[in-house]
Amino acid sequence: MRKVLPILTLILFAVALILPLSSPQTVESQTATEALTTDMDAKTDDLFNGFGVKGTPIDECVNEPVAPTARGNGRFEDNKFIFSERETIADGLGPTYNDVGCVECHQSIDVGAFGQQMEFRAGHITNGAFVDAPGGQLIHARATDSDIVEHISTAETVKAFRVVTSTLGDGFVECLANATLENNVAAQPLAQRGTLTNVPVVEANNALRHGRFGWKAQQASLLSFAGDAYLNEMGITNPFDGFGGRSSNAADAGTNENPASTAEGVINVTFPSPFDPVQDPEDDGDDVLAFADFMAATRAPGRQNPIPAAAVRGDSLFTQVGCAVCHTRTLVTAAPGTLINGGAFAVPAALGNKIIHPFSDFALHNIGTGDGIVQNAGQGSANQLRTAPLWGIRGRNRLMHEGLNVTIFDSIQLHAGQATTARNNFNALTAAQRNDLIAFVLSL
Ligand code: HEC
Ligand code: HEC
């Protein structure tokens, strides 16, 4: 009995020391709960996270899908169907485009996730600054007429491919408060500290918010990204397409097609040009609402189940060598009701106060892989990229922004610049430890 007490005191003391360390999300986590996750198996019907109404799968022979009229007032299954539709020229497809439907590129493991397609961006340097290729930096792969297929000249010396990123769980990411991202970045050591972008929210009169979506964190809201994608990937003009930096309030929002950059110069292909038979806007915005709400209502990618023993061993190594500095393990979404997206969207109950494990800080870093392309975060972002979220990474095998890497090992070796220390620490591990760390990454 006499020996038990001091031991007990010691144990209690140790527990008191460890407790605050193991729950770093102090205030928020008191009410926060883990976000729902999908098992990353397309055969399981578990994508819906509870944002809005689920509805029933659409059978077109029985009923047409109905799009939302404002964010959150539609049905998940209808939105998923609209996200999965293939568009035609009569719907406004093209004149220049990359593919015929969102799901063509965002499909594996499940609707909304990954694809092996790559976008192509190009431009040149004038007086030390990146300048878009004539007609725009996005060079479309396809067109509805061979006369307007885009061909850049050799003057465009800055060129980059970008592979598809997954949208699963992005509703939670949208609901991360600016301050949460700021506090997270502020806690990073100076040498590795990330840069948060400030990008316009098209549906909020271009109010600025920290970007979080895309390889350059070039968008902050799912509605803005979806409007941009409908025009840039499919050629479908809509009020949220942000063409020329327009907000959705602009009188001429949604009335411009991307010009075609051809060998004979830049051609305006907007209706009533001979290349475009459909009056603009080609979508009044309801499809875009459906896309945004579908993505917002998807669950976060869940861990491999069961987690292999090697991955369990590699878990602490990931933090130990410094990967988690940028690939942030845990963030908590804003409380339900919080106004985000420049005031255009209130955090819904299903997405608020949720603990997520994105393995990203959603900030830009220079890790030596920069592609020189500047989107909307200024010239300083030319060689920076967003820390790639690693959740769900086991579901894809085309890695890094160009999608030209096929192993985790090689991806780590490409980490230089701000990630040099982490890479060197990784290389200093034993071969068995390196394999465990890779097994951990592939269990996310
Ligand atoms: C031709 C293939 C293609 C099509 C079609 C496509 N996308 Fe994408 N999508 C991409 C690529 C490539 C990226 C990464 C782009 C980047 O960041 O430069 C991406 C990224 C995204 C992201 C950002 C996800 C994240 O968290 O980083 C969203 C959201 C998105 N797409 C929505 C859509 C919607 C909505 C549609 C349909 C209107 C669509 N996409 C159609 C290729 C495509
Ligand atoms: C200084 C910040 C930083 C650190 C530290 C860091 N990363 Fe990254 N990581 C990034 C950025 C930025 C990218 C995207 C780079 C690109 O695509 O060009 C990335 C991409 C990746 C990718 C590719 C993901 C994909 O979707 O294609 C993997 C895998 C990865 N990191 C693993 C690791 C591992 C493992 C470590 C530790 C050894 C680590 N990273 C350390 C910033 C960092």
Closest ligand 2 atom to Cα of 192 = 1
Q: What per-residue confidence (pLDDT) applies to 12?
A: 43
How far apart are the CA of 166 and the centre of ligand 1, in A?
8
Closest ligand 2 atom to Cα of 425 = 38
3-class SS string, 177-225:
CHHHHHHHHHCCCHHHCCECCEEEEHHHCCEEEECCECCCCCECCHHHH
Torsion of CA 390, 392, 397, 401, to 10 degrees: -40
Q: Measured between alpha carbons, how far is 385 from 365 in angstroms, rounded to an integer?
A: 5
Residues of the chain with pLDDT under 70: 1-30
How far apart are the CA of 388 and the centre of ligand 2, in A?
6
Q: Measured between alpha carbons, how far is 220 from 200 in angstroms, rounded to an integer?
A: 8
Ligand 1 contact via 392 beta carbon (within 6 Å): no
Eight-class DSSP state of 108: B
What phi, psi does 287 have (nearest 5°)? -65, -40
Q: What per-residue confidence (pLDDT) applies to 29?
A: 47
Q: What per-residue confidence (pLDDT) applies to 30?
A: 59
How far apart are the CA of 44 and the centre of ligand 1, in A?
24
Q: Measured between alpha carbons, how far is 85 from 234 in angstroms, rounded to an integer?
A: 12
Q: Which of 135, 386, 139 is nearest to 266 (CA)?
A: 135
Q: What per-residue confidence (pLDDT) applies to 17?
A: 43
Residue 97 bridge partners (DSSP): 142
- Residue 178 identity: N
Per-domain boundaries in the chain? 37-441
Residues 6 or more apart whose CB falls under 8 angstroms from that of 188 comprise 194, 325, 326, 361
Torsion of CA 73, 77, 83, 88, to 10 degrees: -100
Ligand with an atom nearest the CA of residue 288: 1
Ligand 1 contact via 48 beta carbon (within 6 Å): no
Ligand 2, atom 41, lies closest to the CA of: 323
Ligand 1 contact via 107 beta carbon (within 6 Å): no
